[in-house]
Amino acid sequence: MHNAAFRALKLNYVYLPFAVTPAGLPGAVNAIRALGMAGVNLTIPHKERVLPYLDGLSAEARRIGAVNTVVNHRGRLIGHNTDGRGLLMALRSAWGLSMRGRVVCLMGAGGAARAVAAALMGAGVKRLIIANRHRDRARRLARAIAGRSARVRVIALSDLSLGRIAVDCDCLINATSIGLQAGDPRLISPTVVGRFPYVCDLIYRPAMTPLLRDARAAGCRTMNGLGMLVYQGALSFQLWTGRKPPIAVMKRAAEAFNTSI
């Protein structure tokens, strides 16, 4: 996706994958400075662990407590988090849906859910309902993002709880990892899923998760996580290069990759 974008804009950059162990993280961060890299993306398990090794954080990354993008400003490494804004842009692009004034139910309270919850609050949702297997983790997330308003509520990740709130909700977002593996159990029953007008799964591989299949069969509008992947990448691209990202090129490359494996 990034290399396709660099080629399209004739930029002298290359995007490379590096497998970094937790023990290797401090050395890898120093290598960004030593090798003069423009920046990096980070993924699990480094998104939170990298914080002490950076020179600064964007307000967004500080609020989320995790970094997915590092920008090298002449040796000063600044951490950003583009995941949540990436999802908002994908929702707007796919459905023309703004989150202002919406009631959203978010399943999950891990790293991706933190980024999405912070972005939804920033976008002005009316109410955010968080459902997670471990309720303590959901409560911690709710406390971290709630601010002064009382717009965040935590419920059990169960058919009963989700069934009760669905009628008032605009959108259901799955930010758990359930659906990644073939044979994963259903998070909630098809009847309950069908009560949400819009259903989004952050998972993009497989492109059609059991949740999305149930939602589509029930007539809901559905979206997988590929759009979020593209837009979070586009925001990173802009941070590294200062150039407007060629979204259509990035989307095509991501779609080709997703269907090729």
Ligand X SMILES: NC(=O)c1ccc[n+]([C@@H]2O[C@H](COP(=O)([O-])OP(=O)(O)OC[C@H]3O[C@@H](n4cnc5c(N)ncnc54)[C@H](OP(=O)(O)O)[C@@H]3O)[C@@H](O)[C@H]2O)c1
Positions touching ligand X (CB under 6 A) are: 44, 83, 108-113, 132-134, 137, 175-178, 180, 202-204, 225, 228-229, 232
Query: What tokens were used for 172?
Result: 């259901």
User: How far from 110 is each of 114, 136, 142, CA to CA, in Å?
Assistant: 6, 12, 12
Please say which residue, 72 or 236, places its beta carbon nearer to ligand X: 236
Q: Nearest-CA neighbor of 38 among 66, 7, 68, 75?
A: 75
**Minimum CB distance to ligand X smaller for 97 or for 202:** 202
CB of 38 to ligand X, least distance (A): 21
The closest alpha carbon to 77, from 52, 43, 49, belongs to 52
Beta carbon nearer to ligand X, 83 or 214: 83
Contact criterion met (CB below 8 Å) for 81 and 60: yes
Q: How many CB atoms lie within 10 A of CB 256?
A: 11
Structure token digits, residue 44: 């699990």
| CB closer to ligand X out of 31 and 255 | 255
Q: What residues contact 213, with CB distance under 8 A and at least 6 apart?
A: none
Q: Which active-site residues does the annotation give?
A: 47
Alpha carbons within 13 A on the beta-carbon side of 252: 7
**Vertex 74, ends 69 and 75: CA angle to 5°?**
70
> Which single residue brings its beta carbon nearest to ligand X?
110
Shortest distance, position 216 Cβ to ligand X, whole Å: 18
What is the nearest approach in angstroms of ligand X to the Cβ of residue 91?
Answer: 12
Please report how close the Cβ of residue 137 comes to ligand X at its closest, in angstroms: 4
- Given the complex with ligand X, which of 142 and 175 has the nearer CB atom? 175
CB of 182 to ligand X, least distance (A): 14
